[in-house]
Amino acid sequence: MQEENKLSRRQVLSGLGASLAIATVPPLLTAEAARPAAERAAALIDPTSAYPKPPFKSQTQTWPGLASKMEPVPDHGEKSYKGSGRLKGRKALITGGDSGMGRAAAIAYAREGADVAINYLPSEEADAKEVIALIKAAGQKGVAIPGDLREEAFCKKLVEEAVRQLGGLDIVVSNAARQQQRQSILDLTTEDFDATMKTNIYAPFWIIKAALPHLKPGSAIIGTTSEQATDPSEDLYDYAQTKAATTNYVRSLAKQLAPKGIRVNGVAPGPIWTPLQVSGGATQEKLVKFGGDTPMKRPGQPAELAGIYVLLADPLASYATGQVYGSAGGKGMP
């Protein structure tokens, strides 16, 4: 009996000691928490609430408009885009690189290791300066070449300057566009129609022709088309035609240049919050509700397309050519 009591006391003391030992051991970190902060997975973000939704403030600007004066100011990835060297050593020319998807692509390309030349109209100088500063902050060469793409001579000069200042060229992004809504074809003048065609169709034609002699196998050409190519709005008669043509030239040129090892693809945005809308591209009624008719109930931001432009320039996408990548908030076009 006495022996049993001793054994019992030993068991109690042993169990108590083990409990105390366990209590003093710090809790084990989860595998995710133990990883360095820079390597931890980013938190999931609900895309439906990631950016502003309509109604938006009624606002107008003189065409072509400035992103910096919009309310809210568009997100081009200035603070969010993180590069990983996917385009290291590449040299890119981007038209319309001061704002919208062109600006988002310029920022992303620079942070992926590319030197970037941007084209824009002289009236967009304020926005363009911001882009060049961001390119240089990423440690890359930024070249600003202002001028009007509606002039063939300038388009040729643009390519020459980009090649000279960058020391070559292997990515061409034709992004600049003119969009002016007209409620009736009777309101659309020949001058208007001509300006839209020259900006959206003639300019890429002139630029690509000038660039081709400089593009080596592995180079990429990217056009910016639109959901308007397949689902045109009634008040964008001329603009919608140019986007259908863009989609077509992407697919045609891809077949022509594939044997040369040059890829040609397109990006087809839905409603994206850019200066096009506030500078005559949409009525005030549509502007206030802009993007609200998409399944996500909001317009997209240029930053949300940056990754697509990077993908289409990335050598890892070497089998993708003649493709049009949509980003329309759930509309399913193209």
Break the chain into its structural domains and give their ranges: 91-327
Q: Which CATH class is domain 91-327?
A: alpha beta
Is it the case that residue 84 has pLDDT exceeding 60?
Answer: yes
* Confidence label for 40 from pLDDT (cuts 50, 70 and 90): low
Determine the Cα–Cα distance for residues 326 and 334; give it in Å rounded to an integer.
Answer: 6
**Tens digit of pLDDT for each residue in 178-226?**
999 999 999 999 999 999 999 999 999 999 999 999 999 999 999 999 9
- Is the pLDDT at 29 greater than 60, yes or no? no
Burial of 298 (0-12, 13-18, 19+ CB in 10 A): buried
For residue 39, the model assigns a pLDDT of 65
119: left (phi over 0), alpha (psi -120 to 50) or beta: beta
Block residue for tokens 């643009």: 158
Count of Cβ atoms closer than 10 Å to residue 16 Cβ? 10
Going by pLDDT thresholds of 50, 70 and 90, the confidence category of residue 332 is: confident
Which residue out of 239, 249, 309, 325 is catalytically annotated? 239
Tokens for 152? 């063939």
Query: 265 - beta bridge partners?
Result: 222
pLDDT band for 271, please (50, 70, 90 cuts).
very high
pLDDT given for residue 266 in this prediction? 98
pLDDT category of residue 37 using cuts at 50, 70 and 90: low
For residue 107, the model assigns a pLDDT of: 98
Return the ∠ at Cα 210 (arms to 206 and 145), rounded to 5°. 80
Distance, in Å, from the CA atom of 231 to the CA atom of 118, rounded to the nearest integer, reads 30
What is the percent of the chain with per-residue pLDDT over 90, rounded to a whole number?
Answer: 86
Strands 171-174 and 142-146: unpaired
pLDDT score of 32 more than 70: no
DSSP-assigned letter for residue 147: -
Average pLDDT, the chain: 91
Other CB atoms closer than 10 Å to residue 333's CB: what's the count? Answer: 16
Tell me, yes or no, if 239 is annotated catalytic: yes
pLDDT, tens digit (0-9, with 9 covering 90-100), for 90-148:
999 999 999 999 999 999 999 999 999 999 999 999 999 999 999 999 999 999 999 99
Say whether pLDDT at 21 is over 60: no
To 10 degrees, the CA torsion angle through 272, 276, 280, 282?
-10
Tokens of 93: 């020319």
Residue among 273, 276, 303 at smallest CA distance from 289: 273
pLDDT of 13 over the 80 cut: no
Helix (H) / strand (E) containing 119: strand 115-120
Both tokens assigned to 217: 């196998």
CA distance 302 to 195: 24
What pLDDT score was predicted for residue 274? 98
Q: Is a pLDDT exceeding 60 seen at residue 51?
A: yes
